[in-house]
Each structure stands twice: as structure tokens, then as C-alpha cells.
A and B are shown apart, each in its own frame.
Chain A
Amino acid sequence: MYDFLIGPMLAFSLVVFVAGVWYRVHQFFSLSKESKIDLSCLPKIISDSIDNREKDEYIRINSATDLLLKWKLRLKRTFLGKHPFFSAVTIIFHSILILLPIVTVGHNVLLDDYFGFSFPTLSESSVDQLTLLFIVLFFFFFLRRIFSARVRSVTTYRDYIALLATGLPFITGYLAYHQVFSYDIMLYLHIICGELMLIAIPFTKLVHMPFFILSRFFIRYELTFGSGTRKWVENS
């Protein structure tokens, strides 16, 4: 059973994950098209203001206070300034979600066995504490979905599937490490949940993982990181 789960089943889920993400990336590029803004075609004042916005020269910096003001205004335009608590929670949650499986000792031992290379690892106690933090944040998101009126009003069963798909590998991993219930069964459940999460990424709402990077870097709008050069195709 164990050999099957970390052998053919793992290979299958990795293939589905990579192929699914590739399909989604392909879909993104077919739904958007390259469209550069020609500043020379715009009226003078608009093109100047776009120029200024790119250079962020709305505030002339003469002192340290101006510099602080500039950063304060910059932050106010983002979630970090508007919702500092939720931003911190979501950044920590997503960072742990992506980085923790990579720096876990057990995963790196498997990686070394299969491919002969491994990533730097964190000590087991740090991984344990970070997992606990992740589980606490997972329950924060879960309760928010139930009790926050604005989130509840748009929540469907698909959102719960996405949330459970991310939370269960960490919860089962934590229980397996602490040998709660049967270690073997928990380990099997941990591997199965992890593989199901990989398979779920391209096909559930977890697709926001690749989509977030693509849309925030490539599509041009006010929240783009850098200067996006693409826009959505209106009628495909």
C-alpha cells in the first residue's frame, strides 16, 4: 500500500497536476491578447499622468516624512494598507502552504531517494510548530466562511472543497507526526490527501494558484505587479 501510494499514485498525481496547470496556463494565454498602450496616441495630460504613475512621482520627496507619506499612500492603495490583519493572515497562510512541504525532512528524504537531490530543510520541531500555525489559520478561514456575512453570501460547496483540499494534508500530517490514532493509517491518509490536493489544483477553485501569478503579472490594470502587457479578449 505504502509503496503504491508513494510510487505510481504519486507519479500519476504529479502528471495530472503538471498537465492540468499547463492546460490552465494555455487557456489563460488563449483568452488574453498582447496589447501595448501607445502613449503617443493619448491626449497629452493623460499620457503625462500615466508616465508619472509609472515613475510614482506624484509626491516630491524632500524629507524623510515625505518618504514615509509616500509609502503610507502606496500601502493605502493596496490590501496591506486597507486590511492589515487579513493581509498578514493570508500571506502567512499561503507562504506556509507552499514552502512548508518543500522544507520538511521526510519529503526531502523521499526526493533524495527518487532523484538524488534535496532542498534545505527545517528542523522537525519548527515544521511541527509551523504546521500548527497553519492549522490555526485554516480554521480562521473556515470560520470566516461560516460567520462572515459577506463571505457566506458568495460561498458554495466548491469553496469548502478547495479549503478542505488544502487543510487536510496538513491536519493528517500533524496527527501522523504526533502518532494520534494509528500512525500507519494517518500516514496513508496524509499521502492520499496530499495527492488529492495536487490533482485538485487545476480543476477546483485552487486554480487561483497559477491564475493569480498570471493575471497579476500579465494583465494590465491598476493592481498589476509591474506593467502588464496583455488584456482579456472580449469575445472569444
Chain B
Amino acid sequence: MKAVQSVDSKSIRKMLDQNKNTEFFLSVCVSCGMCADSCFLYVNNNKDPSYMPSYKAVHSLGRLYRKKGKVSLKELEDMKDLIWNKCVLCTRCYCPVGISIPSMIAQARSICRSQGICREYDQVEQPKQL
């Protein structure tokens, strides 16, 4: 049984303010979509846009910045799938403008972890149909 959790927006805000360069990266990202082909997960999952490096960063850390940390537990749960299951932090993604995408995903992971949301290794995964 899961313990009832609540999101501490203040601490999320504090963590967001600590790392200024990821905020800078998000303000610079031109959403050109050129990082897509550098992600092997994107290439091997029928080019599903949700595997795109910029998608993962914009819809996790970007959302946290947009909402200034005021997110619900469900939103953090949704991010979990994006930043753990859809990214392995291999750091092979490239950006034509020079943004470091893995550092944004790593920060989103830290924030989720600080709220008690992290990857569950003991869950039973359904086998993928190939």
C-alpha cells in the first residue's frame, strides 16, 4: 500500500532556482525537433514524438518551470514514465543550438525523487509486443 503523499511546491521551486542554466536552456530551445534522430529510443519506437529528447525535457522540467513548481502528484507520476522509462541518460542526444538536454532530464529526476517519486524496480512489466 502506498503512503499518502503531498507535493511540496516550495522545495520544488527552491530546487528549480538552484540550477539557473536549465532555465536558460529552456528559454533558448527553439523546438526545431533536430534532436530526435540522435535518440536511439526514438528511432526504435516507431519515431514516437514522446521519445524525443526535447519532448522529454519540455514536458518534464519545462512544465515544472511553467507552473513554478505548483504541480500535482499525478503530474509528477506522469513525468515519471517520461524521464525514467523513456530516457536512459546515455547523453548521446545532440542539439544544434548547444543545449545540454540530459542535464535537464537529470534535474527533473532529482526533483521527482525529492517528492518521493522514483522508478519502481519491483513492478511487474508487461512484455512488449514486437
Q: Contact between B98 and A205 (Cβ–Cβ < 8 Å)?
A: no
Query: Would you give the shortest CB distance from A33 to chain B, in whole angstroms?
Result: 11
The answer to the question of A55 belonging to the interface, with a C-beta cut-off of 8 Å to chain B, is no
The residues of B that contact A155 with a CB separation of less than 8 Å are: 31
Beyond A205-B30, A207-B28, A215-B97, is A150–B18 a contact (Cβ under 8 Å)?
no
What residue of chain A has the Cβ atom nearest to residue B37's Cβ?
A82
The answer to the question of A183 belonging to the interface, with a C-beta cut-off of 8 Å to chain B, is no
Count how many chain A residues have C-beta atoms less than 8 Å from C-beta atoms of the other chain: 37
The answer to the question of B118 belonging to the interface, with a C-beta cut-off of 8 Å to chain A, is no
What residue of chain A has the Cβ atom nearest to residue B54's Cβ?
A154
Once bound together, how far apart are the Cα atoms of A82 and B96, in whole Å? 13
Count how many chain B residues have C-beta atoms less than 8 Å from C-beta atoms of the other chain: 29
The residues of A that contact B40 with a CB separation of less than 8 Å are: none
Once bound together, how far apart are the Cα atoms of A155 and B103, in whole Å? 21
The residues of A that contact B94 with a CB separation of less than 8 Å are: 222-223
The answer to the question of A103 belonging to the interface, with a C-beta cut-off of 8 Å to chain B, is no
The residues of A that contact B24 with a CB separation of less than 8 Å are: 27-28, 31
Which of A150, A151, A211, A221 lies at the interface centre, i.e. has the most chain B CB atoms within 10 A of its CB? A150
Q: Contact between A31 and B34 (Cβ–Cβ < 8 Å)?
A: no
Query: Would you give the shortest CB distance from B69 to chain A, in whole angstroms?
Result: 17
Between A and B, how many residue pairs show CB distances below 8 Å? 84
The residues of A that contact B33 with a CB separation of less than 8 Å are: 148, 150-151, 154
Once bound together, how far apart are the Cα atoms of A9 and B35, in whole Å? 39
Q: Contact between B96 and A232 (Cβ–Cβ < 8 Å)?
A: no
The answer to the question of B71 belonging to the interface, with a C-beta cut-off of 8 Å to chain A, is no
Once bound together, how far apart are the Cα atoms of A128 and B34, in whole Å? 30
Q: Which of A28, A150, A162, A208 contacts B97 (CB 8 A)?
A: A208
Q: Which of A27, A150, A212 contacts B98 (CB 8 A)?
A: A212
The residues of B that contact A234 with a CB separation of less than 8 Å are: 19, 103
1-42 of chain B: CB within 8 A of chain A: 18-21, 24, 27-34, 36-37
Q: Which of A208, A215, A235 contacts B18 (CB 8 A)?
A: A235
Which of B19, B24, B100 lies at the interface centre, i.e. has the most chain A CB atoms within 10 A of its CB? B24
Which of A31, A155, A219, A233 lies at the interface centre, i.e. has the most chain B CB atoms within 10 A of its CB? A31
The answer to the question of A40 belonging to the interface, with a C-beta cut-off of 8 Å to chain B, is no
Q: Contact between B20 and A211 (Cβ–Cβ < 8 Å)?
A: no
Q: Which of B20, B55, B99 contacts A153 (CB 8 A)?
A: B55
The answer to the question of B119 belonging to the interface, with a C-beta cut-off of 8 Å to chain A, is no
